[in-house]
Every structure is written in C-alpha cells, then in structure tokens.
Amino acid sequence: MGEVLFGLAMILIQLGVRQLTASQATKNILTVMAILSVLPTANVASPLLAAWKYKTPSESFFRRVSAYGEKCPLLYDLILTSKEAVMPVDAAAVHPTGVYLYCTSRKVDKKKAEKFFNEIFSAHRLDPHVHMIQEEKAFFQRLDSLKPIGEYEDDGSVDYTLELLKQLSM
C-alpha cells in the first residue's frame, strides 16, 4: 500500500511542478516523467485492487486451522490466480500426500482450478495432487485424516511446494 501511495505522490508532485515552470521543454519532460511513473504504480496497485473484495478469514477460523500446524505446514489468506479465475484461499495445507486448498468462493470452478494447479505442479516436477475444497466441514475432515508430516520421508517437496504457492499468490 505504501508503494502505491508513494507512486501516486510522485505523479502528483511531477504534475504540480509542471504547472510551476515556465519552460515548455521542462513541462514536456515532467509530463513524460509523470506518464512513465503511472506504469509501475499501476503494476503495484493492480493486485491490491483485485484482492480488495476478498475478506481475511476470521480469527476463530485461523485458530482452528493453526491447531493442525503440527501435522503439516499451513499457509493462510492466499489469493491465487490463473488465466481464468481469481481464487481466494483461506488456508492451504501442504502435506506429502497432497496440497489441500480451502477456497470459499463459489465462483471458482473446482475441476478447472485443480487441473490448473496440477499442471503447474507437474511443470515444477512436483506430484500433481492438489485438491480444492470449498466446504469448511470437508476441509477440516481432510485435515483430521492427515497423519503427521514426521511419519513421511522428507524429500524437500513440501518446502518447495510452500515456496511455489507463495510465488503464485498475489
């Protein structure tokens, strides 16, 4: 948010200084500078605007999910994007048996989302076992059924998967 405000301030300052100068060449340079400042500011602002309509999960949900942190690593409040959809993921459980994404948006096509993530994971040489769960009860049932991560051999894929999900998130 600070970067967007800084970019906006720089654009306004450049346009303000443009009004104070008498030299046409200086006005032209300041106009071009302001126009060029718009592009990086817009690039920083666009994810904020896309995420604006999605709410952060409640603290009680966070506490309930965090209890499963002993079984596997968890990520919270992600906004994952594909060409076709913006997917708000309240929680993601990364386990050797798969990745379990809890998405509250009913607009997200579960099958297309799973296909997209499985293709991305395959491209990154990870096992394509990504599951999108849209019902809270089903998500917690799945978390209950997971065995602790310590019972599995660590091949580094869980950490790599966590980094990939962070990179895919806005």
pLDDT tens per residue across span 16-43:
888 888 888 888 888 888 888 888 887 7
Tens of pLDDT, residues 56-85: 777 888 888 888 888 888 888 888 877 777
Per-chain mean pLDDT for the chain = 83
Token match 């409640």: residue? 58
Name residues whose C-beta falls within 8 Å of residue 35's C-beta, 6 or more positions apart in sequence. none
Identify residue 95 by its one-letter amino acid code: H
Name residues whose C-beta falls within 8 Å of residue 53's C-beta, 6 or more positions apart in sequence. none
Token match 């989302």: residue? 113
Q: CB atoms < 10 A from the CB of 49, how many?
A: 10
- What are the extents of the domains in the chain? 2-51, 59-168
Distance CA 79, CA 57 (A): 12
Distance CA 169, CA 89 (A): 9
Identify residue 121 by its one-letter amino acid code: F
Per-residue tokens: 126:
């990870």
What single string gives the DSSP state of each residue in 93-142?
Answer: EEETTEEEEEE--TTS-HHHHHHHHHHHHHHTT----EEEE--HHHHHHH
Among 42-46, 92-96, 117-121, the range scoring the smallest mean pLDDT is 42-46
Confidence at residue 19, expressed as pLDDT on a 0 to 100 scale: 86
Confidence of residue 51 (pLDDT cuts 50, 70, 90): low
Confidence of residue 54 (pLDDT cuts 50, 70, 90): low
Residue 4 DSSP class = H
Per-residue pLDDT, averaged over 91-99, amounts to 87
Nearest CA-CA partner of 149 in 85, 109, 97, 88: 97
